[in-house]
Amino acid sequence: MLKGMPFDVGFVVFPRLTLLDLAGPYEVFGRVPEARLHLIARDRRPVRSEHGLTIEPTAIFAEAPALDLLCAPGGPGVNAALDDEATLDFLAQAGAGARYVTSVCTGSLLLGAAGLLVGKRAACHWASRQFLTMLGAIPVAERVVVDGATITGGGVTAGIDFALRAVAEIFGEPTAQGIQLMMEYAPAPPFESGTPETAPAPVLEAVRDRLRAQQADREERLARLAAHRKIVPHERGAAGLE
């Protein structure tokens, strides 16, 4: 990447997205001098995030600029977005022209639904990672997964890690390290319960119970979408998680 050349980053925004999925990488890319950030939505109405904070789109699908990097955040709203042909069509079109195709959390399910992850290794939130196989992708149990020009992050807070990794790939490690320092990003969580492997069993079960209805709905929508779009599931299946 030539220094000083503009670099257009587009985030697809939709109702009930998880705010930190968007805000984490937005904060990182916003500190890159060459980056121009776009919040792209179906229409110009403010988008209400998962917990109520609203986002003002800066562009709509029909008027979005050509993107160097496309990013899909995740959240509970992914379920409805899976049934929104306009969102999936935009992702497919923008992704085909972008230099980098990226996601955070369950945003990788939207990339997969748009046909952008077939045969690709990808990350996702731990509770939905297994669904990637339904979309022809290879689920990987890592915080950030790089497969060529496709870069995907795990759940929610991994958006910061993903974005720093992407900045390092595109603009060089010194730039990424400087941004990390400016953000004072040096995680030291108060509890070792941030993954299914480290969380106490009662905590893990409580979270699984909380997500059960959402996950069942998500699986049903994905199965219907995969059949409609004739997406061939990846042969490794959920048991093939790397």
Catalytic positions, written as ranges: 105
Say if residue 240's pLDDT is above 50: no
Over range 54-82, report the average pLDDT: 98
Closest Cα partner for 113 from 239, 212, 14, 8?
14
Q: What is the pLDDT of residue 16?
A: 98
- pLDDT classification of 4: cutoffs 50, 70, 90: confident
- pLDDT classification of 102: cutoffs 50, 70, 90: very high
- In this structure, of 145-149, 171-175, 228-232, the range with the lowest mean pLDDT score is 228-232
Q: Are 182 and 164 within 8 A, CB to CB?
A: no
Q: What is the pLDDT of residue 205?
A: 98
Q: What is the pLDDT of residue 199?
A: 98
The conformation of residue 212, written as its DSSP 8-state character, comes to H
Over range 102-130, report the average pLDDT: 98
Q: Are 53 and 77 within 8 A, CB to CB?
A: no
Q: Are 144 and 158 within 8 A, CB to CB?
A: yes
Say if residue 241's pLDDT is above 90: no
Helix then strand then coil, % of the chain, to nearest 5: 40, 15, 40
- pLDDT classification of 234: cutoffs 50, 70, 90: confident
Structure tokens at 122: 């990808």
Q: Which residue has the tokens 């699986």?
A: 219
Separation between Cα atoms, residue 232 and residue 242, nearest integer Å: 19
pLDDT by residue (tens digit) across 127-161? 999 999 999 999 999 999 999 999 999 999 999 99
pLDDT by residue (tens digit) across 193-204? 999 999 999 999
- pLDDT classification of 242: cutoffs 50, 70, 90: low
pTM: 0.95
Domains of the chain: residue spans and CATH = 7-240 (3.40.50.880)
Percentage of the chain exceeding pLDDT 90: 92
**∠ CA 241-169-144, rounded to 5°:** 25
pLDDT by residue (tens digit) across 202-223? 999 999 999 999 999 999 999 9
Say if residue 61's pLDDT is above 80: yes
Separation between Cα atoms, residue 195 and residue 118, nearest integer Å: 26
Say if residue 239's pLDDT is above 60: no
DSSP-derived pairing of the beta strands 54-55 and 59-60? unpaired
Say if residue 236's pLDDT is above 70: no
Q: Are 189 and 102 within 8 A, CB to CB?
A: no
- pLDDT classification of 1: cutoffs 50, 70, 90: low
Separation between Cα atoms, residue 73 and residue 77, nearest integer Å: 10
